[in-house]
Copies of this chain bind each other. A is one copy, B any other.
């Protein structure tokens, strides 16, 4: 049974137990992401980037000519939401949007020099911030967490 732990404990004033929740991977993932996100945000907001715009910019830098729909699929975002991010990145001259000549429905997204610069700088800054997460962890543990997260992610049906 899940809830028979300390049902009789009178009134946990300031030290409640979340043992049941902590036995769920989803809960632990959310808590850990909640720890990591503010650090990542601190690194990217210096460049007026949020998580979606940072991710999109990074993919565009790494994959010149990528189409919005491919971007959406890769980031598991809706195309409709990608458009807004693309619009912003373009208006800030971080990327350019060109019609594909082979398929005129598509756009080819490419980072500008400024975009690559902002990307590289923000990547460096987010990296620096994230370093704090690994305090007291060995190189082996560090590699292990990435390996295990990949393994879990690849268990997805889709």
* Residues in chain A within 8 A of chain B (CB atoms): 1-3, 5-7, 9-14, 16-37, 39-40, 51, 55, 58-59, 61-66, 70-71, 74-76, 108, 116, 119-120, 123-124, 126-127, 130, 132-137, 141, 144-146, 148-153, 155-156
A76 to chain B, nearest CB (A): 6
Q: Which residues of B contact A7 (CB under 8 A)?
A: 61-62, 64
Which residue of B64, B108, B136 contacts A155 across the interface (Cβ within 8 Å)?
B136
A29 close to B149 (CB less than 8 A)? yes
Q: Complex: how many Å from CA A75 to CA B150? A: 26
B153 close to A16 (CB less than 8 A)? no
Copies of this protein chain in the complex: 2
Q: Complex: how many Å from CA A64 to CA B6? A: 9
Q: Complex: how many Å from CA A3 to CA B59? A: 10
Q: Complex: how many Å from CA A69 to CA B151? A: 37
Residue on B nearest A6 in the bound complex, by CB: B62
Q: A16-B63, A65-B12 are in contact. Are A134 and B120 (CB under 8 A)?
A: no
Residue on B nearest A54 in the bound complex, by CB: B21
Q: Which residues of B contact A11 (CB under 8 A)?
A: 64-66, 108
Which residue of B18, B116, B127 contacts A62 across the interface (Cβ within 8 Å)?
B18
Residue on B nearest A117 in the bound complex, by CB: B3
